[in-house]
Structure 1
Amino acid sequence: MTGDEAEPFTYNGGIVKPGETQNIRYGISETYLGDPVRIPVTIINGEHPGPTIFLSAAAHGDELNGIEVVREVAYDWNHEELHGTIVCMPVLNVPGFLAQQRYLPIYDRDLNRSFPGREDSTSAKRMADQIYRNFLEPCDLGIDFHTSTRGRTNMLHVRADMQDPDVARLARAFGSNVIISSSGPSGALRREASEGGAPTITIEMGEAHRFQRNFIDQALEGVMSVFAEYNLHPDDPVKWPGWRTVIDDEKEKTWLRADAGGLVEMHYDRGSLVYEGTPICSITNPFKTEREIVEAPFTGLLVGVLENPVVYPGNPLCHIVELNADTRRALKRDRAHAETEGDVQPPGYVGAPELGEQ
């Protein structure tokens, strides 16, 4: 990871020496007309030795918040005292980004289920292979930015394999309140990069098709904390979020799904603390003659909620994670302090009713 002297970063076709920054457009495929499909990559190689980290976004082409996080780290931050190398890839799925859709338009394939790729396989796996071999495999760690899929929204949280000590260190360094632990699906960038030797986490935040400044700023604080933890920016502080819960994806999280089709009225937004038995949302038919109330099955935090207010039976309504009593108390103290200081609360936070003991 580190040596006595800074080392050059090499990729197929180029080299970035210590103290240099390069903006490149790297060809990973071709269009139907034979024109190159090129991803933008910025490589910042510090004069001082240190780890190599990648920051990636828009593996799903309509997930935009992470693009701005990666761009601001690359172009707005001062890296004069950088110890190590930063590989910034703000748009991985260029065809999807141009079409403003989640998947690659080519046969509707998911780039984020195609890693580490294969050079003689499908178009998606060939693209993933080019990205992986040139810009992911040479790195020591990575952060992959995502948002919720269209029609839903997430509070900012980390997804990471907390059974892997190196991944767990990175996840905690990011400084989020919520970490959801799982190895991730086969072919996902974070899973394949981690198994390939570069501990990687996914950051979920907000919704598709937009820039949301509050999430972008939170994520930038998280990146700064990671840079401090790994001494890329040794003078920056490591962030403690005030409270934290780590959720086992296989045991503790719950997606609440609709048992009836209709129009949905959400009573709480992402980031809300809801108590067992609290009506989270209601589903009605067009005439409002039938109503189904969906209640919280336990006391927990709404990590994600529906934005598009129409459902079929079986469609997801919200993503709720259980909080123990100690975590609830810490959350309440944190939000009460923020309210006293006049800080902006997370979306969906409604103040005193959620702070009352129940």
Structure 2
Amino acid sequence: MITLGTARAPPGETDTGRLEVGETRDGSPVRLPVAVINGAEDGETLYLQAVSDGDELNGLGVVNRVVPRLDPAELSGTVLVVGVVNYFAFQVAEHRNPIDDRKMNRGYPGNEGGTTSERIAHATFQAAKQADLILDLHQGSTSRMINETRVRCGVRHHLHGDCLELAKAFGCGHVLDIKGPDGQLARAGPEHGIPTVDPELGGCVGWDEESIRYGVEGVFNVLRHYGFLDGDIELERQVRARGFDQYGSPAGGLVRFERELGERVSTGDLLYEVTDVFGELKARVTADDDGVFWRTRRLPQVAAGEYVCSVGTNVDKY
């Protein structure tokens, strides 16, 4: 019998339930939606979670489509799923937990007696620690971004190669290989000996079907590559960035992009222009380095100094 919260599944069965992680302001319990898919055959365990940030819903779209398609009779091993991690932020469609104003993915491995975010991080990390592999599904918040997978443990970590293999198996086509901030699950997992990656499934308001499709295919790629399901996948070379240039606006006005997401850029290429309300040019911004046009703001209006876009740099294929 495999359990996660109230979900209990014997071999060959699936169950859903709730994982209690705290209480609301009126004393009601906070219970996260969870699922256990316990394969008919023995094998490894995959932990999958979504909505660590309350407005990042593409991962939830992936969970919504993956769980019904997983037949435990065909599965070797176990898949543990937490469908919505950031309970409070999800309820109000905000990025950060409004109770403690914390970003959930800066609180791992968590603290059983800490803030609400730290308590949720602790409870979900206890589940994640049961796994052999971890997928933490994210997106580029509500900005526009390519579909990519992040390896956050750092190149000197002894599990760096294992995390790169996991990213390659997921197969978004682009990988950001930069050590992440303290408190990320993709940092905490490797510190506890578990290869972990952070798929960033595009960026949108609500959810995007194309990015969800990348995520669903990625999860099933991982399940096949690591022997949870029958079938082989071909590990294709990924475009990897090991640096990240962010650009702010030199002037206030309206942004007009001159590059498409995923497009290769060279040093000196025009990235965007800023005009005034009447279309008069105020600024032109060019690339500082060769790279890939990775992410942009969604709205055209900017103040001077406000974030506009990012370019992945130090690019290779692996």
Q: Same fold (TM over 0.5)?
A: yes
Q: 1:136 aligns with which of 123, 128, 152?
A: 128
Distance 1:178 1:137 in 2: 27
1:31 aligns with 2:24: yes
Label 1:305 to 1:45 Cα distance change in 2 as closer, same or farther (>3 A). same
1:301 aligns with 2:292: yes
Q: Which amino acid aligns with 1:186?
A: D
* Larger strand percent: 2
1:101 aligns with 2:94: yes
Q: 2:71 aligns with which of 74, 78, 85?
A: 78
Please list every run of 5 or more consecutive structure 2 residues that lacks an aligned counterpart in the other structure.
none
For each residue in 1:6-30, what CA deviation from the matched residue of structure 2 results, as whole angstroms up to 9, or x when unmatched?
xx42446664322221100121111
Residue of structure 2 equivalent to 1:4: none
Query: Structure 2 length normalisation: TM-score?
Result: 0.91
Q: How is 1:1-358 mapped onto 2 (pairs within 5 angstroms)? A: 8-11=1-4, 15-133=8-126, 135-150=127-142, 152-160=143-151, 161=153, 163=155, 164-235=160-231, 237-241=232-236, 243-248=237-242, 252-322=243-313
Q: Which amino acid aligns with 1:90?
A: G
Label 1:12 to 1:100 Cα distance change in 2 as closer, same or farther (>3 A). closer
Q: Which amino acid aligns with 1:261?
A: G
Deviation at 1:143, TM superposition (A): 0.7
Q: For residue 47 of structure 2, give the secondary structure of its aligned residue in structure 1.
A: strand
Deviation at 1:39, TM superposition (A): 0.6
Q: For residue 294 of structure 1, give the secondary structure of its aligned residue in structure 2.
A: strand
Query: Structure 1 length normalisation: TM-score?
Result: 0.81
Q: Is the 8 A contact 1:118 1:128 kept in 2?
A: yes
For each residue in 1:149-195, what CA deviation from the matched residue of structure 2 results, as whole angstroms up to 9, or x when unmatched?
23x21111110136322212211211232211123211111111221
Q: Is the 8 A contact 2:248 2:306 kept in 1?
A: yes
Label 1:162 to 1:47 Cα distance change in 2 as closer, same or farther (>3 A). farther
For each residue in 1:285-320, what CA deviation from the matched residue of structure 2 results, as whole angstroms up to 9, or x when unmatched?
334444201112344321111211122233222221
Which protein has the larger Cα radius of gyration, Structure 1 or Structure 2?
A: 1
Label 1:233 to 1:23 Cα distance change in 2 as closer, same or farther (>3 A). same
| CA RMSD after TM alignment | 2.1
Q: Is the 8 A contact 1:205 1:215 kept in 2?
A: yes
Distance 2:4 2:141 in 1: 32
Q: For residue 121 of structure 2, give the secondary structure of its aligned residue in structure 1.
A: helix
Q: Is the 8 A contact 2:37 2:70 kept in 1?
A: no
For each residue in 1:27-62, what CA deviation from the matched residue of structure 2 results, as whole angstroms up to 9, or x when unmatched?
111111111111100110101111100111110011
Label 1:228 to 1:13 Cα distance change in 2 as closer, same or farther (>3 A). closer
Following superposition, which runs of at least 4 residues in structure 1 exceed 4 angstroms of deviation? 11-15
Q: Is the 8 A contact 1:269 1:305 kept in 2?
A: no
Distance 2:306 2:72 in 1: 45
The count of aligned residue pairs is 313
Stretch of structure 1 that moved more, 94-103 or 306-315: 306-315
Distance 1:181 1:207 in 2: 19
Deviation at 1:223, TM superposition (A): 1.4
Deviation at 1:108, TM superposition (A): 1.4
